[in-house]
Structure 1
């Protein structure tokens, strides 16, 4: 356990925010090939598989080195290890400018990857400054340093266009060097290391540090991180190349849209930590995998032309995800990946408080390997299938299998367990063998067990704040519901002006159907809140609005879209009308 009695809030904040800033710089360096790799690909004439290997090589180094760096952090403290990582990465990034052919670029990329090992260092260092009840939020804040990928995508293209890719490498090298110096002089040793030095206790040996890695549940648990982090890194590296190839964008525009994915996939990790502390890691993981399955399925659908042999002849229409729809869906995907990353790492300091570095290192290693393997597979599938969307087909398969595996494992764990005993089970089945009394309820949802709004004292001290929070959140949810419900009347009025040749009767039915379906759904929705609970049902129904909203955006792009598809979308807009209940 950490000795935090003498630790002030100022020291905690300094350790957290400087670690987060340092991780942001390290992540920007780690993903530098997502931008400069595009120019290097053109200069060397690489195919997509070679390009995938080039952008993935730094991820390989950063992943493999995490275990060792995590152990060193537990032994010698995060302050000195973090600084050494940044200085080493600065030297390697500067030397990158001397590479001249594909093998030397791969060698240089291995050195640049040292920056990615900073994650294991920061997780171990930050967790030792906070008690268990606040570690989820603290680690979520630190993990938001993933936004460094967005920094690279947003700034590097402009520098590269103006001065060349070598200047990007030099600027990034200088930035991480300066950050390393600032971190060393502005931070302190963590409380655990300070207490150990004061007592004259020697650090645990390497064999002791890696003892938890003999437990198979650590490796099984790590596989969740393969998707939520590995796929994030892979897409962060691959998206600029994808956007240029699919939508014909220039490097600066592709970089900015890529940043639009990286920002939510990074900053909302903070919110993921808060949600994990409040509602439980299992629920957050279900949200992550469930929404990711839907998003990856939509993005995996290649542009397709359909021919329907109808009564009056052939009807042709085309389904394609436009740039705006793609950007919105990728934003949603990034948001839920960020929640999952925080939910996974929340477990580590709870179950392995003395081995956060080594266990966090192996979890990060497995996740980072996803960031190395997936870009290579993306390029390979491009070369083999000739379909750009094949990368999302692969991600759909990965997240689908992860969701099924997690659900089946949870159901097997809960089999034959009822009542209060269910609350004593771990959030994820991988932790069942090491789950003890001290972990019961720590990671689970914190529900309201005492609610007495008629009691004036309770209402003034506690109830008012809870009710106000629920009200503030419910209002925008209802606003979105009404917006989707009513938007169809505006869309129908504008269809003739953009090339749709529907009759007045057909337009009337399109305008009337949302009202009909919304009124009907209210009958059924009125029974759902007592069954599933208002919070869960409001969440599910609000997310269901994504289906008609995206469907409308895609359908109106092509005047050949069949009438029956518009009828279906009109009925789905009724979801918004049913939400009023």
Structure 2
């Protein structure tokens, strides 16, 4: 860790942002690890299974924009409190009333998207406390809250086997409640918050080409991460016949590797520059996604390759958000929402396309290959903009951070 980092910002807020993000991501992808049991109980087709686990991702993506606007209007702490209250209420209703149809599980999926929108709160909450040279590290730590997907994959299938999948929604209220209390006590809005912007100013961001580039770049890195996090339990169960519990363990291992790489990706970007770090991650992720698409003969081989792909995608997430605050520091709230939305849309596409690929072709290969191609396109795009970025807003003397 760089010297002076812990003195540069507000550590209690950074921890509160991480824990809030962590528990929110745990429930955001909850339907993925429960997908096998839920689909068996409701009699879902492969395409319906893929859509079920993709809807929370899409809902979270779209809600991130609104949450980003809310952050700029009322501050990240209050926005986070509102979001957590909505998720707690939705899980309590699902637990007490029960889920009895495909339509009901999709309705719950929409509300779970509010947990995914925590991204647009936790990152500005942490970011506003830290100077440019520590943005990659700070946002990498806060963003490592996506490790909550590990807990979902690790514990949800076994808890469902022991107590029934519907009761998992009630059990999830316990860690969420703890995170809520910690957030109330420790989180604090930075005094360096930018003034609220008008609707016209929000729309102005769309006229910036760099905003679209960041949206695309994160759509690939985070989209790949969360799409696989939501889909791998179903994949390992369907492709290799693993039980839901064992498939959950395999998924947890992959997600853990990807989650732990996010802060390292941010720190690496601080040291060598976000563009260079991100370029390497796209190339590595594309390679391993192509390899795993060829229906590897062993589940353990698939686990190893998916883990490597997830590490690259996780590091890429950290690298993208080393760059975003340098280019859009005063618009970080709305940009976090927009970029986060694009990441969720990428995850929705991957999760739903894997289910559709399986139903139409009988394998997951097409879905994986198309996403690998998107990673290659992102690498090409990054190569096109890097010179302009390094000679304008990322030039020495303009930014204190390495671009």
Name the residue aligned to 2:109.
109
Does the alignment pair 1:341 with 2:317?
yes
Mapping 1:390-469, distance limit 5 Å: 390-407=366-383, 409-410=384-385, 414=387, 425-427=388-390, 439-440=398-399, 442-444=401-403
Ranked by relative contact order (alpha carbons within 8 Å, sequence separation 6 or more), the top structure is: 2
Name the residue aligned to 2:306.
330
Shift of the alpha carbon at 1:397? 2.1
Mapping 1:190-205, distance limit 5 Å: 190-193=190-193, 203-205=196-198
CA distance in 2, matches of 1:390, 1:107: 29
Q: Which digits, 9 at most, give the CA deviation of each residue in 1:95-150, with x for residues without a partner? A: 22333211121112101110000001111110011111111101011111111111
CA distance in 1, matches of 2:177, 2:58: 22
Point out where structure 1 has 5 or more consecutive residues left out of the alignment. 1-6, 197-201, 303-319, 415-424, 445-581
Shift of the alpha carbon at 1:10? 9.5
Secondary structure of the corresponding residue to residue 33 of structure 1: coil
Secondary structure of the corresponding residue to residue 301 of structure 1: coil
Determine if contact 1:52/1:379 at 8 Å carries over to the other structure: yes
CA distance in 2, matches of 1:203, 1:225: 25
CA distance in 1, matches of 2:63, 2:310: 26
Name the residue aligned to 1:54.
52
Does the alignment pair 1:177 with 2:153?
no
Determine if contact 1:300/1:396 at 8 Å carries over to the other structure: no
Name the residue aligned to 1:230.
223
Secondary structure of the corresponding residue to residue 353 of structure 1: coil
Mapping 1:6-45, distance limit 5 Å: 9=7, 12-45=10-43
CA distance in 2, matches of 1:214, 1:94: 42
TM-score by length of 2: 0.93
Determine if contact 1:224/1:344 at 8 Å carries over to the other structure: yes
CA distance in 1, matches of 2:34, 2:214: 34
CA distance in 1, matches of 2:379, 2:369: 15
- Give the 3 Å change call, closer, same or farther, for CA 252–439 of structure 1 in structure 2: farther
Q: Which digits, 9 at most, give the CA deviation of each residue in 1:21-42, with x for residues without a partner? A: 1111000010000122221111
Name the residue aligned to 1:280.
273
Name the residue aligned to 1:357.
333
Name the residue aligned to 2:142.
142
Shift of the alpha carbon at 1:388? 3.4
| Number of residue-to-residue matches in the alignment | 397
CA distance in 2, matches of 1:83, 1:440: 33
User: 2:351 is matched with which residue: 375, 387, 396?
Assistant: 375
CA distance in 2, matches of 1:80, 1:8: 25
- Give the 3 Å change call, closer, same or farther, for CA 441–191 of structure 1 in structure 2: closer
Determine if contact 2:9/2:130 at 8 Å carries over to the other structure: no
CA distance in 2, matches of 1:436, 1:296: 34
Name the residue aligned to 1:265.
258
RMSD: 2.1
Determine if contact 2:393/2:399 at 8 Å carries over to the other structure: no
CA distance in 1, matches of 2:6, 2:53: 42
Shift of the alpha carbon at 1:69? 1.0
Name the residue aligned to 2:126.
126
CA distance in 2, matches of 1:173, 1:220: 37
Determine if contact 2:21/2:119 at 8 Å carries over to the other structure: yes
Determine if contact 2:53/2:351 at 8 Å carries over to the other structure: yes
TM-score by length of 1: 0.65
User: 2:211 is matched with which residue: 212, 218, 234?
Assistant: 218
- Give the 3 Å change call, closer, same or farther, for CA 385–433 of structure 1 in structure 2: farther
Shift of the alpha carbon at 1:60? 1.3
Secondary structure of the corresponding residue to residue 291 of structure 2: helix
Name the residue aligned to 1:385.
361
Shift of the alpha carbon at 1:326? 1.6
